[in-house]
């Protein structure tokens, strides 16, 4: 069995976004792991129209030319780490829109979360966990929460994320859980069908 491939999904597209900093920090951490492979998946690279299709992709896959590359990318991955901001106590609209444009491509895959913002984006991540369940993903409990103080310190250049060892501890716990779930679910997806 091939090593599970995890997409690190940058979930905001705004100019001046903070997402690039925690993503680069996380990529330095995951580069040391051999139990999973990782790929950056930036929603800026997958512009899609607002979801307005007559049927849910759970019943009819969307074949629009702007959506197919996104669906193919999601299908190629075995799990996800969503790097997300918290907008008004929830997730960015561009992330919800991207999630809604696929369905079977998400099914039976592990999902982990790195959030930043007020209260470490805990409210956004809670919404994202519920969305993940609806998409038949397996959301893991451990995550990384970058709250207000480290966020401001890093934004202003006073510190880096490496100056907050508790975040590295959170990342290790998240990645260990993600590895177990990604391997387990990949084995299940690749197993012969049960009758």
Q: What are the tens digits of pLDDT across the range 115-152?
A: 999 899 999 999 999 999 999 999 999 999 999 999 99
Asked whether the beta carbons of 94 and 51 are under 8 A apart, the reply is: no
Q: Do the domain assignments include residue 33?
A: yes
**Residue 121's pLDDT is what?**
97
**Residue 195's pLDDT is what?**
75
Q: Do the domain assignments include residue 23?
A: yes
Phi then psi for residue 144, to 5 deg, are -115, 130
Per-residue pLDDT of 37-68, as tens digits, reads 999 999 999 999 999 999 999 999 999 999 99
- Domain of residue 65 covers 5-190
Q: Do the domain assignments include residue 195?
A: no
- The domain that holds 48 is classified in CATH as 3.40.50.360
**Residue 193's pLDDT is what?**
85
Average per-residue pLDDT in the chain? 97
Say whether pLDDT at 158 is over 80. Answer: yes
- Per the structure, how many domains does the chain have? 1
Per-residue pLDDT of 78-89, as tens digits, reads 999 999 999 999
**What global pTM score does this model have?**
0.97
Say whether pLDDT at 1 is over 80. Answer: no
Q: How far apart are CA 124 and CA 145, in angstroms?
A: 11
**Residue 118's pLDDT is what?**
86
Q: Do the domain assignments include residue 128?
A: yes
Q: How far apart are CA 37 and CA 73, in angstroms?
A: 15
């Amino acid at each position: 069995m091939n090593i599970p491939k995890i997409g690190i999904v940058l979930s905001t597209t705004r100019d001046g976004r903070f997402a690039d900093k925690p993503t680069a920090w996380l990529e330095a951490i995951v580069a040391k792991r051999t139990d999973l492979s990782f790929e950056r998946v930036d929603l800026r690279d997958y512009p899609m129209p607002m979801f307005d299709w007559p049927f849910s992709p759970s019943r009819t896959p969307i074949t629009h030319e702007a959506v197919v590359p996104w669906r193919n990318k999601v299908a190629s991955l075995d799990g996800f780490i969503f790097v997300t901001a918290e907008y008004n106590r929830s997730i960015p609209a561009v992330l919800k829109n991207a999630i809604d444009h696929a369905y079977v491509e998400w099914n039976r895959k592990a999902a982990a979360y790195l959030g930043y913002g007020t209260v470490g984006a805990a409210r956004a991540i809670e919404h994202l966990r519920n969305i993940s369940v609806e998409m038949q993903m397996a959301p893991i409990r451990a995550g990384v929460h970058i709250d207000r103080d480290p966020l401001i310190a890093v934004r202003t250049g006073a510190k880096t994320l490496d100056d907050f060892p508790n975040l590295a501890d959170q990342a290790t716990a998240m990645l260990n859980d993600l590895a177990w779930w990604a391997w387990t679910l990949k084995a299940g997806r690749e197993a012969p069908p049960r009758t």
